[in-house]
Structure 1
Amino acid sequence: MNKNIFSQIYGDYTQRIETGLLKTGVKLPSEHEIAEEYGTSRETVRKALHLLSQNGYIHKIRGKGSFVLDMNRMEFPISGLVSFKELSERLGRTVRTLVHETACVPCPRNVARQLQIAEQEPIWKVVRAREIEGEKVILDKDYFLASVIPELTEEIASQSIYAYLEGQLSLKIAYAKKEISVEQVSDEDKRLLDLARDTHIVVVRNYVHLEDTTLFQYTESRHRLDKFQFVDFARRVQAEE
């Protein structure tokens, strides 16, 4: 691989994307076309595109090509427990919550397994789409133990459930385990979100515990691929000699 040409391809495309010469959603030329343009091998081009993908400039879709990502994607923290209302205040964007369902229902088998409770036990199911700058880009599906939360209304769900739990019910929310995966979009995603051309979606599963260690909430938060990057801060701890 010619490192000078590799660096040139990477540098040229990062500049074009950062300056707006290549707009969000634009399809890049094929590997063959780029290789011809720079007089190099497809392997060199492939490695440059891979680095562009790793650094969040493009998204590669098998069989379709490489597409420019939105460089103004919103950062969502991996660690910490933050409500969407709290997060939206940090983002400084125009946001809206659309409540599609708030109901006390018998717990289905798949959710009972996540909450570690008996099937058919009463739970609150809340389905909300999060609209940012006029686009519905997050679908939150929350499940709460009815034994912990006796009442939950659509009005509460449209604001901040955590503010209600902590302020009105005096519950102490302590910690959560999070799992992040990329999955195929579902029919529900297509119906409730403004999906771009992506056929996949980022799914963040939260298992939230109270201070007494009770697992009281399971959440499936489904994020449109091109709008978010998930961030964290890590500090290395030196091993003691």
Structure 2
Amino acid sequence: MKKYEELVQDIISKICQGVIRVKLLSEREISEKYETSRFTVRKALAKLEAIGVIKSKVGSGYFVNTAIIGKPLIYNSITENKFGEISYKKIKLNKRLPTPHEMQVFSIGENDYLWHIKRLRLVHGIVTQIEDTILPVSIFSHISNDVIENSLQKHVLSLGLEIDSYLTTYRAINLSKDDAILLDCKRSIAAMNITNRGFLKTGEVFVVSDIIDINYQCTYHTQFNSESLNYRGETGR
């Protein structure tokens, strides 16, 4: 873990512990306390602000974003970046009939079409992810290149739809030769396969995505679940 990432982790920890309640120390004070450079401190503060943990006030410094206190904190190597730092490149777009499995996932019939999108996601101009996405035509009657090369979540909201939640699974994988070429990296590099299923407030599944990410990082801060621990400890479980 890089120095600024260690600093990010420690500041989040101190906020969760209640050691830091309102205002953070100044850049100089943090630098002296952790015996690190001002550059490292600025990188850490920028990341904390990007993921919504702190807010800056011109001339006053950095303050804890109290709206996050007591709520789950989840961020990863993509969501810590602003939309302006992320771009997309379309590989393909086609409309097709669903497989039997997709019929079950989307609760649709065999004659209900799906959009199949394949695109690259770039962060600061560097290809980071390959994304295969399936969308039901019943919800998205039209998909353009402009939609593909921007945030799909923002497009969903622009249609007046309300996103409720996501079901996400992570799995470490070995890159295929074709994927390594698209990601411009060696096949031996660490890679993560991330599958997402998104739900609307109405209960409908509006998207299924399969993502391959290189050097993926994800951080969670969630409440301890004693019921889950007890369930796992029951006889026969």
* 2:154 corresponds to: 163
Q: Does 1:143 find its partner at 2:134?
A: yes
Q: Who is 1:129 aligned against?
A: 120
**Larger CA deviation: 176-185 vs 99-108:** 99-108
Alignment match, 1:235: 223
Match for 1:210: what amino acid?
Answer: L
On the 8 A contact 2:191/2:216 being kept in 1, the answer is no
2:163 maps to amino acid: I
CA change 1:81–1:176 in 2 (3 A) is farther
Say if 2:74 and 2:219, in contact at 8 Å, map to a contact too: no
Q: What is the SS of the residue equivalent to 2:157?
A: helix
Q: State the superposition RMSD in angstroms.
A: 3.6
Displacement of 1:182? 1.1
Q: Which amino acid aligns with 1:136?
A: V
Could you tell me how far 1:199 is from its partner in structure 2? Answer: 5.7
1:101-112 equivalent positions in 2, closer than 5 A: 101-109=92-100, 111-112=102-103
Q: 1:89 aligns with which of 82, 88, 100?
A: 82
Q: TM-score, normalised by structure 2?
A: 0.57
> Structure 1-normalised TM-score?
0.56
TM-superposed deviation, 1:158: 0.6
Choose the corresponding residue for 2:212, options 222, 225, 228. 222
| Aligned mates of 2:73, 2:167 — CA distance in 1 | 9
1:195 — aligned with what? 185
Identity of paired residues, percent?
Answer: 14
1:4-38 CA distances to partner (integer Å, 9 max, x unpaired)?
xxxxxxxxxx8xx86xxxxxxxxxxxxxxxxxxxx
| SS of equivalent to 2:82 | helix
**CA-to-aligned-CA distance 1:124-162 (integer Å, 9 cap, x gap):** 111111122443121111101111111111111111222
Contact 1:142 1:218 in 2 (8 A): yes
* SS of 1:88 mapped into structure 2: coil
SS where residue 185 of structure 2 aligns? coil
Q: Is the 8 A contact 2:180 2:186 kept in 1?
A: no
Which residue identity is paired with 1:128?
A: R
Tell me if structure 2 keeps the 8 A contact 1:81–1:176: no
Instruction: Render the CA deviation track for 1:216-240: whole Å, top value 9, x for unaligned.
Output: 211111111xx3211111122567x
User: What residue is the counterpart of 2:31 in the other structure?
Assistant: none
Gap regions ≥5 residues in structure 2: 4-43, 52-71, 228-237
Q: Could you list the runs of 5+ residues in structure 1 that have no partner in the other structure?
A: 1-13, 19-71
